[in-house]
Amino acid sequence: MSLRSAPLAVEAPERARDGLFTPEIRAQIDAHVAKYPPEWKQSAVMPALTLVQEWNGGWLTRELMDDVAAYLDMPPVAVYEVATFYGMYDLEPVGRHKIGVCNSVSCLLCGSEDLIHHVERKYGVRPGETTADGRFTFKEVECLGACRHAPAVLVGKTYHECLTPEALDKLIEELD
């Protein structure tokens, strides 16, 4: 869709931005904003959502998206568009950890299906679900770009490669 290269900036009535998030997060968002031309604050929407999501325990509430919109002078719906488009944003509560098993072709050829079935059976979660104990949210993810050590699994922020079901179990056991 071609809302071409004009910032969506809204003339929002001056809203108290000082109260949003935490001073640390505001400083981090500001650091991102500084990378882009001044009229393009919205360029920082992705890092801002990422920071806020992490602060909120891994997922975004509508209120937080609205806050990001207010902080960056964006219409809320433009933030919803971004948050629903990119796969790394979660809009539902998640577990304490996120485990993403790559399901793309190289990993498929190297046994990712076994990993997925194993997790489904052993932990009773289907992709998109969170274990009953809230330990982790299980996801199937598209190519992680770690094909040479397939199958690859993203646990939190760390790649684990050449995994077998047993090795994955060990990783999961180590999670709190």
Partner 1 sequence: MVEDQNSVCFRTLHLKEPWALASYRSVGGYAQWEKILKEKTDPAKIIDELKLSALRGRGGAGFPTGLKWSFMPRSAPGQKYIVCNSDEGEPGTCKDRDILRYNPHQLIEGMAIAGYCIGATVGYNYIRGEFYEPIDRFEAALKEAYEAGLIGKDIQGSGVDFDLYTHCGAGAYICGEETALLESIEGKKGQPRFKPPFPAQFGLYGRPTTINNTESLASVPVILEKGGQWFLEQGRPNNGGPKLFSVTGHVERPDNFEVPLGTPFKDLLAMAGGVKGGKRLKAVIPGGSSVPVVPGDLMLQTDMDYDSIAKAGSMLGSGAVIVIAEGTCMVKVLANLAHFYAHESCGQCTPCREGTGWLARVLHRILNGQGRPQDIDLLDGVAGRIGGRTICALGDAAAMPVQSFLQHYRHEFEYMVEHGGRSLAEAA
Partner 2 sequence: MTDKLSIEIDGRVCEASPGEMIIAVADREGIAIPRFCYHKKLSIAANCRMCLVEAEQGGRPFPKPVPACATPVAAGMKVLTRSPKALEAQRGTMEFLLINHPLDCPICDQGGECELQDVAMGYGGDVSRYSEGKRVVKDEDLGPLVATDMTRCIHCTRCVRFGAEIAGVRELGATGRGEDMRIGTFVAHTLTHELSGNIIDLCPVGALTSKPFRFKARSWELTQAEGIAPHDAVGSNLHLHLRGNQVMRVHPKDNEAVNETWISDRDRFSYEGLASPDRLTEPMIKEDGAWRPIGWQDALIRVAERLKTASADQIGTLIAPTATLEEMYLAQKLTRGLGATAVDSRLRQQDFRGDAADPPLPWLGVPIAELETRDAVLLIGSDIRQEQPLLAHRLRKAALGGAGIVLVNPLPLELTFPAQQLVTSAAGMLGELAAIAKALRKRGSGSVKDLIAQANPTDRHTSAAERLKAAGTERSGLILLGALAAAHPDYTLLKALAYVIAEATGSTVGYLPLAANSAGAYLAGALPHVLPGARPGEAIGADARAMLVTARKAYVLWGVEPSYDFANPSLAATALGSADLVVAATAFRAPSLEAVADLMLPIAAFAETSGTFVNAEGTWQRFQGAVAPPGEARPGWKVLRVLGNLCDLPGFEYADSGEIHQELATLCAEVRPDNAPRGDLKVEPSLAEAGLMRVGTLPIYRTDPLVRRAAALQRTPGADVFAVGLNPALAADVGLADGELAVIRQGKAEARAAVVLDAALPPDVALIPSGVTGSEALGEQIGPVAVAKA
Q: Give the span between the Cα atoms of 22 and 64, in whole angstroms.
A: 12
Task: Indicate whether 11 belongs to the interface with partner 2 (CB under 8 A).
Answer: yes
Pairing of strands 136-141, 97-102: parallel
Nearer to partner 1, 91 or 132 (CB): 91
Nearer to partner 1, 154 or 168 (CB): 154
Rounded Cα distance, 2 and 108, in Å: 36
Which residue number, 81 or 114, has a Cβ lying nearer to partner 1? 81
Q: Does 78 bind partner 2 (CB under 8 A)?
A: yes
85 binds partner 2 (CB under 8 A): yes
Q: Residue 99 forms beta bridges with which residues? A: 138, 155
Closest of 157, 153, 159 to residue 139, by C-alpha = 153
Given the rule CB under 8 A, which residues bind partner 2? 1-4, 8, 10-11, 13, 62, 75-78, 80-81, 84-85
